[in-house]
Amino acid sequence: MLDFKKPRIALSQNSSSICLFLISLFILLLPSIAIAESTPCQNASIHLRGDLDTVMARGGIWTLMEQTEGLKDQSMIGLQVDGKLSRTVGIFETLCESGKNPTKQLFVAIQNILGEARTTFNPSSSSDKLLEAINGLNKNLDELLAKIE
């Protein structure tokens, strides 16, 4: 490997392998550096947006009410809930982007409300229980929006 009698040859052979090692190390570390740059606030925003997208992928609360027998007349409540859900997640994202890091309590509150919204899609719920759950969700959203707006 290292031949001290011919240092130029030994150095040139080892320098190419050292250079290759450093390049491969850089390539391996680059993705982890990019991931580390995202803040916890951005990760929380992505998580909340994913939860909201789960609810909206099914058509939202409004679609659920339109498809449920006996709730079509009151489906405007579902439309309001869908808008309020989007607004809460949007406000959280705006706070993150503006540098005003929202509290963990706000994140948990929004996460809990999105969890409530997802559980309303339970197919075994009667229309009365569903309407009660949606009205409770609407009330919780009103309280949360009053705090953060």
* Residue ranges of domains in the chain: 1-37, 38-148
Between CA 88 and CA 103 the distance in angstroms is 14
pLDDT confidence tier of residue 94, bands split at 50, 70 and 90 = very high
Angle between helices 75-97 and 40-57 (to 10 degrees): 160
> To the nearest 10°, the Cα dihedral for 55, 102, 31, 53?
10
Q: What's the pTM value of the predicted model, to 2 decimals?
A: 0.73
Residue-level pLDDT at 113 = 96
